[in-house]
Structure 1
């Protein structure tokens, strides 16, 4: 077998076309060649070549996962979110490696691998690390959904909002990833101040855990300010919001009791507020992205 590592194929066959495609998307967003170079970590001359040559072709450039990733990465780089862009690039590479087109290229470089159901790129994963990485990525995607939804800023509570996603088998708030410092509305837009961390939101985490006690399929949640039209939008989608008491000091324990009494978990629950306590609506989902998509749908429907 020739000693050709899969990583060599990434450098040769993946990074060049992906960089070229991202450069073109950034140029479409009116970034200068030097700005594009700074974001991609290449020279301005390299960017000039990316933009002046023919668009990249081949199986890697034309793969649907590549197309989707390029769009996300370009948007993240344009917004200055290099961490999210790098995470999406790594996720793309893993997808292409996991019995994707890189396997075909690897077999062409090392014919001895053909027909062996090779698992070099996916062998022996650390399942806990993989789950943590996926959970953090889910919260990043959910936060982007909130930030990109028109009108969402009007539904950010005075105390701020947060969005969380739980690890499989989560039993403690430290098992739930969320945004440190919460998400705030600033000048009519949603501001996400940091990348997600585990244990970053006690309230959203405890709402998820309370719901999971009744329905283990629940893995994500976010909190919104209660505004006119929100519950009507939920009912139009077949969701009957559930109220729970907020008078008790531990009102999220009251949420669990209300869900136990009901015997099921609706995707929208709320408390009407209390002394020095703002009325809050929680939107639940299978993960943070599921909750964020439903919240976005409800918010847009109230306009």
Structure 2
């Protein structure tokens, strides 16, 4: 009898640690620096980096694992991600792979009698506040990667800047919405993201997202882009419902609610500006990645 946790400890973690050690060493970090970041000995770093530890090919070749290792290595090397944040991101992926995914598949191969039981081989509480907020930040980082890498995205950024936001499932205030501090700006034709996502930093886009949710829209993320009639038309042609609201409002909930009553299926809200107010389009969706992909489809 072998537990799923043993697969995590004996196969997944050694594979990921070896990939991280290899990547960090390739970025010029010393064995001592890598050891400090990963919380292991220098001799272990040497073994991992030199391929002296047995690795599971299924984890090694999984695109999600490779992407996570690349993102964490960059974050640790450039000090934009702490070891604790890296650990939480790894744990999030572990839980995903345990839930009728790769770890569960490997487990069932070793214990065929488990097949068909639909078990969620979870070893961590997925509902803790820390893990909920880190899942939001992780999703937002993935969305921002799409924004940053999308050729021509800067052309969609309004003069006031863009922001990509995502909220927790039970969000009831701005502090429950993560966004980019300082917003996303066009710097010489390149979408520039000044810092890592944080909660409570995007009052404008976050307020719009929360107002839409209070009006019944099932959305967790929002992105603002510049207004253009052709952009609205392109979004409609792509199958997204649109609704216009008044830019000169005293009560955001009221004007957003009225717009959504006109078109309850709208996932794109926009206004055409007002006195001293720049016209803006807001794309809303299930998560930051989905919203970023919609925007990329406009390019």
Q: TM-score range by the shorter chain?
A: 0.7 to 0.9
Tell me the CA shift for residue 291 of structure 1.
1.6
Other-structure match for 1:239: 240
Contact persistence 1:142–1:288 (CA under 8 A): yes
Other-structure match for 1:82: 81
Contact persistence 1:13–1:60 (CA under 8 A): no
Tell me the CA shift for residue 200 of structure 1.
2.0
Listed one character per residue, the Cα deviations across residues 159-206 of structure 1 (whole Å, up to 9, x for unaligned) are 221122222233332332222322222232222233333322222222
Q: If the length of structure 2 is used for normalisation, what is the TM-score?
A: 0.74
Other-structure match for 1:270: 270
Unmatched runs of 5 consecutive residues or more in structure 1? none
Other-structure match for 2:283: 283
Of residues 14, 17, 34 in structure 2, which corresponds to 1:16?
14
Is the alpha carbon distance of 1:71 and 1:139 closer, same or farther for their aligned partners in structure 2, counting shifts above 3 Å?
closer
Q: Secondary structure at the match of 1:135?
A: helix
Q: Secondary structure at the match of 1:82?
A: coil
Tell me the CA shift for residue 75 of structure 1.
4.2
For 2:166 and 2:135, locate their aligned partners in 1 and report how far apart those are by CA, in whole Å: 10
Tell me the CA shift for residue 89 of structure 1.
2.4
Q: If the length of structure 1 is used for normalisation, what is the TM-score?
A: 0.73
Is the alpha carbon distance of 1:105 and 1:142 closer, same or farther for their aligned partners in structure 2, counting shifts above 3 Å?
closer
Please provide the CA RMSD for this pair: 4.2
Matches within 5 A, 1:1-303: 6=5, 10=8, 12-22=10-20, 31-32=27-28, 38=34, 53=51, 57-58=55-56, 61-62=59-60, 64=62, 67-75=63-71, 77-78=73-74, 80=78, 81-83=80-82, 85-96=86-97, 121-122=122-123, 126-227=127-228, 229-250=230-251, 253-260=254-261, 262-298=262-298, 300=299
Tell me the CA shift for residue 136 of structure 1.
2.5
Is the alpha carbon distance of 1:46 and 1:143 closer, same or farther for their aligned partners in structure 2, counting shifts above 3 Å?
same
Contact persistence 1:33–1:48 (CA under 8 A): no
Contact persistence 1:176–1:198 (CA under 8 A): yes
Tell me the CA shift for residue 283 of structure 1.
0.4
For 1:123 and 1:138, locate their aligned partners in 2 and report how far apart those are by CA, in whole Å: 19
Contact persistence 1:20–1:56 (CA under 8 A): no
Is the alpha carbon distance of 1:133 and 1:53 closer, same or farther for their aligned partners in structure 2, counting shifts above 3 Å?
closer
Q: Secondary structure at the match of 1:180?
A: coil
**What number of residue pairs does the alignment pair up?**
289
Is the alpha carbon distance of 1:236 and 1:197 closer, same or farther for their aligned partners in structure 2, counting shifts above 3 Å?
same
Contact persistence 1:22–1:71 (CA under 8 A): no
Unmatched runs of 5 consecutive residues or more in structure 2? none
